[in-house]
Amino acid sequence: MEDKRANGDTSACNGHSGKQQKDVRVWCDGCYDMVHFGHANSLRQAKALGDKVIVGIHTDEEITKHKGPPVFTEEERVKMVKGIKWVDEVVLGAPYVTTLEVLDQNNCDFCVHGDDITMTAEGVDTYHLVKSANRYKEVKRTAGVSTTDLVGRMLLLTRNHFRQGSAEYDIEKEGSSNMGQDSAAKSPWTGCSQFLPTTQKIIQFSDGKSPNPGDKIVYVAGAFDLFHVGHLDFLEKAKKLGDYLIVGLHTDPVVNSYKGSNYPIMNLHERVLSVLACKFVNEVVIGAPYCVTEELLEHFKIDVVCHGRTPIALENGKIDPYAVPKTRAIFELIDSGNEMTTERIVERIISHRLEYERRNQAKEKKEIEAFEALQRQKQTQKAG
């Protein structure tokens, strides 16, 4: 039997029986800096616990006070969270410590957060008030990804996040630095193992709907690495050209061939979930061919092929990957109106390198102390 809750259909879970019942409103809050599929997955799980998900986002000032400066501005962070398919409302200016007043002001029944600990600059659990009032529920955080880890990949220019051939699913890590990829990192929340993809996770993220007869189908392709506001604006404009948007994702070796260095920062499996979490996207082609072929256009019944204003690298230095849709006169260039690129994000991180390293060391230290205190508490309870 289909699990309605896993697929985001909560009517069965909430005991709706045809009578009009009040929506269960779920509150989630956080920095949502460098929004990734781990954030999206926690919001997906929150949605399964109610009807509406309301996301509170901390201001730049509040984050700087407790953690250090965010990578993205509050405007960028709000836009990214609004683009996630499970989010219904976004509130900027959520306090760092979640209060009962905030839940009440936003008509929320309870608060949901991952099973890691977040603390204020003073080391206080940011959810202690809602926990003690029994208005707190926990979901599993997504193992294998964290903002800290992604920042580490950028700073270190490591290549161990994408592997090929027999090593593709290896999960041992090369020691790297004091960022999230460090194999010596002891915090179970910041220290990061490689993300392990499953078909179940892809099913949970996919809406599973095929195009309706007569739908105009739009196709775009690219790396969509470190999914960001530039991608979001581009996909929103692409979706407006039709009814059903398909995104083709290039493999890691293909992306590396035209981006170079240690790109892509996120491997193919991670990029698939990041794109699937976007509310404008209907379907993803995993490992799409670099050249848009006749076969691809026929197979997906594509009506329009789009590309942004970023340069298009020729395949083998000679072949225009969009030659076929151009010949068919179904190719369109879109200006997203947004200057953000993956490279620009990496530049932001590198220019603040020392700040981020200090920030992550402090975070790691607080998390280890909290984790050890938690373990001691459990031992005491067992002994008692």
Q: 190-230, pLDDT tens digit by residue?
A: 444 466 778 999 999 998 899 999 999 999 999 999 999 99
Round to whole Å and give the CA distance between 47 and 5: 9
Could you tell me the pLDDT band of residue 73, with boundaries at 50, 70 and 90?
A: very high
Distance of CA 213 to CAs 100, 209, 210, 240, 306, Å? Answer: 48, 12, 9, 18, 21
Judge whether residue 179 has pLDDT over 60.
Answer: no
Same fold, 25-139 and 199-334: yes
> Which residue in the block uniquely carries the two structure tokens 């599973």?
208
Cα 218 → chain centroid: 23
Contact 48, 10 (CB under 8 A): yes
CATH number for region 199-334: 3.40.50.620
Q: 278-331, pLDDT tens digit by residue?
A: 999 999 999 999 999 999 999 999 999 999 999 999 998 899 999 999 999 999
Output DSSP code: residue 135.
-
Per DSSP, what are the bridge partners of residue 182?
none
Could you tell me the pLDDT band of residue 250, with boundaries at 50, 70 and 90?
A: very high
Task: Give the pTM.
Answer: 0.81
Architecture of the domain delimited by 25-139: 3-Layer(aba) Sandwich (3.40)
Judge whether residue 167 has pLDDT over 60.
Answer: no
Judge whether residue 13 has pLDDT over 70.
Answer: no
Across the range 25-47, mean pLDDT stands at 95
What contacts 87, CB < 8 A, 6 or more positions away?
43, 53, 55, 81
The phi, psi pair for 146, rounded to 5°, reads: -155, 155
Residue 8: both structure tokens together: 């985001």
**Dihedral of CA 211/216/221/223: which sign?**
negative
- Domain boundaries along the sequence of the chain: 25-139, 199-334, 352-383
Could you tell me the pLDDT band of residue 262, with boundaries at 50, 70 and 90?
A: confident
